[in-house]
Amino acid sequence: MIACLVAIAFLSSPVFADHSAEWFRSTPSGMHNALDYSKSLADQVEATTCLPEDAFVRVNGNEFHINGKHFVFAGWNQWEVMEAASNAGPPARHLPLPGREHIVRLMNEGVNSGMKLIRIWAHTITKGNEVQKKPGIWDEDALQGLDFFLDEARKRGLKILIVLADNWYSVGGVDQYVEWSDTASRHQDFYTDDAATRLFKRMIEKITTRRNMINGRIYGRDPTIFGYNLINEARCQNCPRETIGRWMNEMCQHLKRFAPNHLVGLGYEGFFHSDDSEELRNLNPGVGSDWAAREGQSWLAHTQIPCINFASIHVWMDNWQPKTVEFQRRYIQTHIDLAAKIGKPFILEEFGKKKESSTFAERDRFMRDAFDVAERAAYEGKLAGTIFWHWYDRGVGLTSSYGIHSDESTFGIIQAHVRDMNAITGALTYCPLR
């Protein structure tokens, strides 16, 4: 019954987008990776990652394992999933096709390319299209969009890393919880305010205890979910380093009550606090500035919290100084080495480069350099995964300075990296359906 309903919705749902869907399907971008319109949207699986569908990812020292086998991966960030999966109209999204169609197209291409994991946000970012409208008031259509996404990932053997909140967006982010609290008034209060803490814990419970309406799986027991970032790029300016640390530990332990088999990471850029040693502070970005040391992060100390399962960093050379591949290389490598010393798996969780001209040469140079560092570390057993920022289906996100499409030279560099990462463990690129 569900498949039939999906088929009807797939073939007849209105398209609230900037383009005509029928026109787009006839363009080169639309025809690339096109779906089979004789079948329902739920029946478009071309291949799988070859990963076992019902196995959780585990930590073994500084490695990830699945069913006792070493797991090294390359994947992608896809931030607009909640908007697209609910087929929301403008201004929530600007897509040539219904959002779910773009999701399926991208999943198919990602699996065929050998990628194994997607990092997504479990909230929207657009006012008027909130997943949680008010405290405890949820948009069921949006949640069913997340159900759809997780089920499509399950069918392909993709693993999903979920971000539960964001530092930068008011919708679904830190400032949303501050606004809802009667006792918090500023961004920093989020980490110490009792009311904001209660609201955030209730959100964790809502997500982890939800039953997927398509496959019946409870999120907190679903092995499709690799794990969580509690917050993307948490910041608490001029706060003691213990402030975010205590919050991360408390929220992590709360989440593990409902999702004991899922992994938790910090989601940090990787800054060191003003109270950390000078040796560590000197690793921060910034020329003649200590701004990174005043953001409340203490990457090494917080990564060592027992409840935190893996180390990760985000690298944003366009926003930092010095803007050189040499600094990028040093920043990644020093964090890799520190993670190896504390014995936790390391993920290069976000990294990207703006397309600043009519060519991709500069972006390609930075991406290739990051991949080179990651691959050497992976071969040495010091790096477990990479998740580049960020991938769009062809014809989507054309005004994004960071968006990557599969018809650009950058994607060829990504494909070569994916092959190298899979070769480390002898993983197959994909498994065709029988």
Q: Does some domain include residue 231?
A: yes
Number of domains in the chain: 1
Cα separation values, 150 from 82, 93, 299, Å? 11, 20, 30
pLDDT in tens, 90-118: 777 778 999 999 999 999 999 999 999 99
pLDDT in tens, 121-148: 999 988 888 999 999 999 999 999 999 9
Residue 163 Rama label (left phi>0; alpha psi -120 to 50; beta) = beta
Tell me, what's the pLDDT at 147?
A: 98
CA distance 268 to 244: 11
- Evaluate if residue 12 carries a pLDDT over 60: no
Q: Does some domain include residue 19?
A: no
CA distance 34 to 36: 7
CA distance 149 to 85: 6
How sure is the predictor about 13, in pLDDT bands with cuts at 50, 70 and 90?
very low
CA distance 366 to 361: 9
CA 318 to chain centre: 20
Q: Does some domain include residue 28?
A: no
Tell me, what's the pLDDT at 19?
A: 64
How sure is the predictor about 71, in pLDDT bands with cuts at 50, 70 and 90?
very high
- Taking the CA atoms of residue 9, residue 203, residue 63 and residue 410 in that order, the dihedral angle to the nearest 10 degrees is 50
CATH code, domain with 421: 3.20.20.80
Q: Does some domain include residue 353?
A: yes
Q: Does some domain include residue 24?
A: no
Q: Does some domain include residue 29?
A: no
Q: Domain range spanning residue 216?
A: 2-13+36-427
Q: Does some domain include residue 407?
A: yes
- Evaluate if residue 355 carries a pLDDT over 60: yes
- Evaluate if residue 211 carries a pLDDT over 80: yes
Q: Which of 153-157, 352-356, 383-387 has the lowest mean pLDDT?
A: 352-356
pTM: 0.95
Tell me, what's the pLDDT at 4?
A: 40
* Averaged pLDDT for residues 70-79: 96
CA distance 295 to 201: 23
Q: Which of 96-100, 107-111, 238-242, 385-389 has the lowest mean pLDDT?
A: 96-100
Share of the chain above pLDDT 70, in %: 95
Q: Does some domain include residue 25?
A: no
- Evaluate if residue 5 carries a pLDDT over 50: no
